[in-house]
Amino acid sequence: MTQSLLLQLSVAVLFLPLVSFLILIFFGKKLARQSDVIGIFLNGAALALSVTILYAKVNFFHDELLNFTFTWISLGNVTLIGPLKFDLGIMIDNLTAVMLVVVTLISFLVNLFSSKYMEGDIRFSRYYANLGLFSFSMLGIVIANNFLSMYIFWELVGLSSYLLIGHWYEKKSASDASKKAFVVNRVGDFGFLIGILVLWANYHTLTYEGVYAAIGSGMIPFQSAWWMTASGLLIFCGAVGKSAQFPLHVWLPDAMEGPTPVSALIHAATMVAAGVYLIARTFPMLTADALMVIAYVGAITAFISATIAIAQTDIKKVLAYSTVSQLGYMVMGLGVGAFSAGTMHLVTHAAFKAGLFLGAGSVIHAMHNALHHAHDHHTDAQDIMNMGGLRKKMPITFWTFVMFTLAISGVPLTSGFLSKDEILAGTLAYGSLTGHMLIPIIGFLVAGLTAFYMFRIVILAFMGDHKDPSRLEHVHESPLAMTLPLMLLAALSFFAFYSLNPIGASSGWFFHAIERPATVVPLDMAAASTEIFEEALHHAHNTAMLFSLLVAGTGILLSFLTYHWKKISADAVAESMAPVHKFLLNKWYFDELYDATAVAGVKGIAALFAWFDGKIVDGIVNGAGSVTKMGAVVSGKFDSIVVDGFVNLTATVAGTFGLVLRKVQTGRVQSYIVFAILGIVVLFFFYRAV
Amino acid sequence: MMELKFLNVGILTWITFLPVLGMIVVLLLPKNNKTAMRWTSLGVTILQMALSVVIFQYFNRGLAGINTVDGMQFKEFIPWIDVQSLAILGRLKIDYFLGIDGISVSMVMLTALVSFVATIASWNIEKSVKGFFALLLLLNTGMMGVFVSLDFFLFYIFWEVMLLPMYFLIGVWGGPRREYAAIKFFIYTLFGSVLMLLAMLALYFSVSVIDPSTGMKMHTFNMLAMMNPANFDPASLLGGLGTSMRYYAYVALFIGFAIKVPIFPFHTWLPDAHVEAPTAISVILAGVLLKMGTYGLMRIAFPIFPDAAIYFAYPLAFVGFINIIYGALCAMAQTDFKKLIAYSSVSHMGIVILGMAAFNSQGMVGAIFQMFNHGTITAMLFLIVGVLYDRAHTRGLNDFGGLMNKMPKYSAVMVIAFFAALGLPSMSGFVSEAFVFLGAFQTYRYLTIASAFGIVLTAGYMLWTLQRVFLGTLPEKWNGLTDINTRELISLVPLAVIVIFLGIYPMPIINLMNTSANALVEFVRSGAGMALVGR
């Protein structure tokens, strides 16, 4: 196995889903029901290749960076710059290799799951086509070796996300959600684009290698420390949009309008993690200040969304907010410098959160069928308050769901415990190094909240008895195509796949393969070095583990006390804190706030400008036209009255004189003689006087 | 030097005057033979496209052109008007001087393509078919002529030639307020033309070259001669560099071109003209005519007045910014589909302005490429509106909904056009917009950041429109709508293919223009005596 073969294989991985997209978009109608076969087969092939690549990369080229670059656009030789060109390309390091497997694996499982879940959908082949487009774009992000390709595929996943959220576009809520997702992401991408502009203006290259080499040589953007921090944060704006971080997190919960497997793939496991991946890729160029901002954004996001999740009753909404919260965790992890932990949480979360969503899909599927049988079209199939007791009817879904819940709650022996514990240790180390203790405090608090609201779902949906047992008769376990992915993902939620040591990830292959990259920013701007951080981490580790077990246990216990043993009345608590409950139920009023400010503001300005354009700008033009017309009328009148009047007056005067004088010309000789004599007399008189 | 001739007539003359031949044929055809008239027009545009492919094939990518006669390609030079003594004017000499370089070649190709598409879109015109196609062909010649002329007077003639058919095409075949729109268009453009004429005459009397046949000095309308500062008589009106007279002349030229682009605040003729014009004319208007303004700036205003171009660079970039944001916001507030697209043109042409004003390689290439891309993408958008209007006889955005299911093929093309318009990567518009921003950011940091916010606004109004018209449920009154037919697909699909192809692999077009764009930037910067900053 050579390096170039690995690169070729990764190109094949990239294009297989695109082939699926192209086949289905052009021939989907004719294939009808076989669309899923194509999607599953091609994604399966991509998965097999990805696993091969990961295996080969980690075993044979562990510390090598495989890189392939080609010139996409050349602007020729430019004076004083030399050749100006835009390079695109791919690269494989260990992080890329891991991400290839994550993306193709979840993608494959979701393709498989959807073959039953989406059975009979009106746009079945279109759905599979869009899944292919998504996988292609997402793989493009993962495999890019430069900011330009990253941005290109970044926007393309935005497109596929738009298409899939709006899959049932007949519903206003679905088309609203897809539009919101795209536009909110565009706001983040706007920052990302500016970040790219800064890098290009300074370095005339956009490859990671070129940019980091330039910064490493001391050329910071615009020779300014401020711009160095700003450029990192501007690119981070892209992550804020895509990974649904505060303040742009509002689109993700709405994105649940899409089919549930899509939520699992795109809005839980992979696409939303792209932001985290972007931070990981830009990590070398982030200054200490930039990382601090990132850590706080992550922490705030994790906290806000965890509190919202507690109050929601729609199973997908709870999971959505939980996703936002966990993404905040990852961002926070990278921000504090726990690089391996943050990326590891990305991977472990991808497995168990995809599992949770597919599990929810399985439940919703069963509920739909049961309600359909009972001719009940009013009950909300997604509301956990309408569920209960599903454990007996859907054992596989139940047990896998429990496994995922344990993992996300950070219970030992799960994958989630490993990654979460390392992140928490990282925040504690960061707090001790910088004094920002609020970050670890939020970290532990959110860990407790997560355990609480996740077990709330398990208890309310699966345990106890169903309120209306007759309805349970029609609830059935989902078919194998749906349960198989659940079982696989449940298996992947065990610790052993990531580290053989169940209480420490740092000795496992993952931490060994994906190490924190060296910073390239000048030392006075950089965060604490890896050695110092590792040292602090070492001290923080046991404390962190103790606390994390404590908060997770407390959360789970409270959940059981409240919802299972009913020792605490949830309603009473909600009532006693009614304003808080309402605030959380309404998601901190972010949507209302943005609608009232940004959306209404832009629409208002648009209306104002349109008015200004029509009345003022065009008014002036039309006014100029009218004035000219009036001028024409006036000059017309002037012409006809004054100018022509003068002409006519002259004529009239002449005419009048003519008329008068004509009288003189009588033609009679006698009168002429009289006039002549009179004339002579007058003349004689005058001359005499002289 | 490449010369392509047929019957001893150069290829540029052929591509410019073929439509006039076609017009004569159309006029000679019997009145009721509408089919023959349509096919004649279509045949002419197909021939033009074939010629533009030949030009594409034989165009030398290494030659810059701009201010050098040797750099111009497919040149034709014939002395045309030569009056030895004409009162105070002295000797008047106007040449038939054609030639193209990297700035004009893509515009020639775009004109051929858009004319072809517009002819197909005119197929169902039934009102005085003969007049319509005759005027359409005359318009075609006017447009082509503008892009191939290198003699300022000749340029001016073509510029005016194009005005007349446009006036009638809107005024006779347009919508309910067609007469108002046509007059507004005509007078507005004529107003700009007068300013251009003044600047042209001032240039004529300021520039002298030595007549090779007599050895005497004589005035000239040759654009390339005007670009050489040595040809300006030092004592003349526009002699020297950086004088206020030169600035006035530049501003006069600028306004003449700005009206065509259109640049705020000279843009209000555009929405009216678009709304009233028949589909094909909107396609030509947005696809080609608007580019004449920006082309004029690049071909004439910048290289002849490099001092003024640099002096006014920031204001120019600023109006670009205004166009982008103001156009996008105005578009957002529209409820008429066609008016919305018209305002989006204002916004997208602002990107061209911003790119030019950067006066660097990326910005200039981005601007020219954006001119080409806007031509194809907006042509698609207007065709799409036309398809709907032909069926529903309304363009109210709020009257529709759910067309996606009713008209699936139509919707597929629409999705491509809409996402291309909002600058989605993998579509050609993204490449040119990105280039413009990359270039402009190096010259105007904060102004570019403010302008780039346009990408958010554009996504907003485009997707909002898409949602209102295509998503949701179909109102019952539109149950009878039929999907797009083959003729309409033939006009749209080639454009869609070009938009996607150039989004993935833009080099074929960028190759045509980058040598000239680089040369133009360098010429203007050095001409203005500005130190070449490392950009």
ipTM for the predicted complex comes to 0.92
User: What are the tens digits of pLDDT across the range A166-187?
Assistant: 999 999 999 999 999 999 999 9
**Structure-token pair, residue A293:** 């901002």
| Closest chain B C-alpha to A470 CA, distance in angstroms | 36
pLDDT tier, B300 (very low <50, low <70, confident <90, very high otherwise): very high
3-state secondary structure of A265: helix
Q: Whole-prediction pTM value? A: 0.91
C-alpha closest to that of A308 among A552, A585, A572: A585
B395 located within any domain? yes
Q: Note whether B332 contacts A602, CB cutoff 8 Å.
A: yes
Q: Is B535 on the interface with A (CB under 8 A)?
A: yes
Q: Average of pLDDT values for A135-163?
A: 94
* A chain contacts of residue B333, beta-carbon cutoff 8 Å: 603, 606-607, 609-610
Q: Is B504 on the interface with A (CB under 8 A)?
A: no
User: What are the tens digits of pLDDT across the range A425-462?
Assistant: 999 999 999 989 999 999 999 999 999 999 999 998 88
C-alpha closest to that of A358 among A541, A489, A206, A202: A489
| Closest chain A C-alpha to B215 CA, distance in angstroms | 37
Quickly list DSSP for A575-599.
Answer: HHTHHHHHHHHTGGGHHHHHIIIII
**What are the b/e assignments for A509-523, b being 16+ CB within 10 Å?**
ebbebbebbebbbee
Q: Which B-chain residues 394-423 have CB contacts (< 8 A) with chain A?
A: 402, 404-405, 419
Helix (H) or strand (E) holding B212: none
Q: Average of pLDDT values for A191-199?
A: 95
User: What are the tens digits of pLDDT across the range A92-143?
Assistant: 999 999 999 999 999 999 999 999 898 888 888 889 999 999 999 999 999 9
Contact A389, A458 (CB under 8 A): no
pLDDT in the model for residue B235: 80
**Structure-token pair, residue B438:** 């990359």
Residue B100 reports pLDDT greater than 80: yes
pLDDT higher for A122 or B109? B109
Q: Average of pLDDT values for B197-216?
A: 85
E-strand ranges in B63-147 read 73-86, 90-100
pLDDT in the model for residue B535: 37
User: What are the tens digits of pLDDT across the range B139-192?
Assistant: 999 999 999 999 999 999 999 999 899 999 998 898 888 888 898 889 888 889
Quickly list DSSP for B236-273.
Answer: STT-SSS-HHHHHHHHHHHHHHHHHTTPTTS-THHHHH
Amino acid (1-letter code) at residue B487:
R
* B chain contacts of residue A166, beta-carbon cutoff 8 Å: 471
pLDDT tier, A238 (very low <50, low <70, confident <90, very high otherwise): very high
Q: Note whether A75 contacts B365, CB cutoff 8 Å.
A: yes
pLDDT in the model for residue B532: 38
Angle between helices A172-203 and B428-443 (to 10 degrees): 50
In the predicted model, what is the mean pLDDT of chain A?
Answer: 90
Cα separation, A251 vs B347, in Å, equals 27
CA atoms within 13 A on the CB side of A272: 36
For chain A, what percent of residues have pLDDT higher than 70?
Answer: 99
Q: Note whether A172 contacts B441, CB cutoff 8 Å.
A: no
Contact A100, A45 (CB under 8 A): no
Cα separation, A96 vs A102, in Å, equals 10
Q: Note whether A81 contacts B506, CB cutoff 8 Å.
A: no
Cβ neighbours for A578, distance < 8 A, ≥ 6 positions apart: none
| Of B365, B402, B517, Cβ closest to residue A170 | B402
User: What are the tens digits of pLDDT across the range A451-505?
Assistant: 999 999 999 888 887 777 777 778 888 889 899 999 999 999 998 888 888 887 7
Q: Is B459 on the interface with A (CB under 8 A)?
A: yes
Full domain range(s) for residue B370: 312-504
Q: Average of pLDDT values for A217-239?
A: 93
* A chain contacts of residue B426, beta-carbon cutoff 8 Å: 152, 156
Q: Is B355 on the interface with A (CB under 8 A)?
A: no
Quickly list DSSP for B428-468.
Answer: HHHHHHHHHHHHHHHH-HHHHHHHHTHHHHHHHHHHHHHHH
Angle between helices B129-148 and B152-173 (to 10 degrees): 150
Q: Is A152 on the interface with B (CB under 8 A)?
A: yes
CB pairs under 8 A between A and B: 136
Length of chain A: 690
B331 located within any domain? yes
Residue with tokens 């990961």: A54
pLDDT in the model for residue B356: 94
pLDDT tier, A534 (very low <50, low <70, confident <90, very high otherwise): confident
B380 located within any domain? yes
Cα separation, B392 vs B221, in Å, equals 50
In the predicted model, what is the mean pLDDT of chain B?
Answer: 90
3-state secondary structure of A678: helix
pLDDT in the model for residue A32: 62
| Of A152, A176, A187, Cβ closest to residue B426 | A152
| Of B330, B419, B460, Cβ closest to residue A613 | B330
Contact B165, B118 (CB under 8 A): no
Residue B336 reports pLDDT greater than 80: yes
**Structure-token pair, residue A434:** 């910088």
Q: Average of pLDDT values for A265-292?
A: 92
* A chain contacts of residue B429, beta-carbon cutoff 8 Å: none
pLDDT tier, B290 (very low <50, low <70, confident <90, very high otherwise): very high
| Closest chain A C-alpha to B306 CA, distance in angstroms | 17
B456 located within any domain? yes
Q: Is A532 on the interface with B (CB under 8 A)?
A: no
Residue B531 reports pLDDT greater than 60: no
For chain B, what percent of residues have pLDDT higher than 70?
Answer: 97
**How many domains is chain B partitioned into structurally?**
1
Contact B121, B287 (CB under 8 A): no
Q: Average of pLDDT values for A660-679?
A: 81
pLDDT in the model for residue A405: 95
Residue B405 reports pLDDT greater than 90: no
Residue A372 reports pLDDT greater than 90: no
* A chain contacts of residue B533, beta-carbon cutoff 8 Å: 80
B85 located within any domain? no
Cβ neighbours for B457, distance < 8 A, ≥ 6 positions apart: A602, B325, B328, B329, B332, B347
C-alpha closest to that of A303 among A447, A454, A456, A446: A446
Least confident of A31-35, A184-188, A252-256, A271-275: A31-35
B134 located within any domain? no
User: What are the tens digits of pLDDT across the range B440-495?
Assistant: 999 999 999 999 999 999 999 999 999 999 998 888 888 888 889 899 999 999 99
| Closest chain A C-alpha to B268 CA, distance in angstroms | 6
B473 located within any domain? yes
B377 located within any domain? yes
Q: Is B534 on the interface with A (CB under 8 A)?
A: yes
**What are the b/e assignments for A86-112, b being 16+ CB within 10 Å?**
bbbbbbbbbbbbbbbbbbbbbbbbbbb
Which CA distances in Å does A432 have to A332, A542, A544?
Answer: 15, 14, 12
Cα separation, A530 vs A519, in Å, equals 9
pLDDT in the model for residue B252: 94
pLDDT tier, B86 (very low <50, low <70, confident <90, very high otherwise): low
Cα separation, B483 vs B403, in Å, equals 9
Number of H helices, E strands in chain B: 23, 6
pLDDT tier, B534 (very low <50, low <70, confident <90, very high otherwise): very low
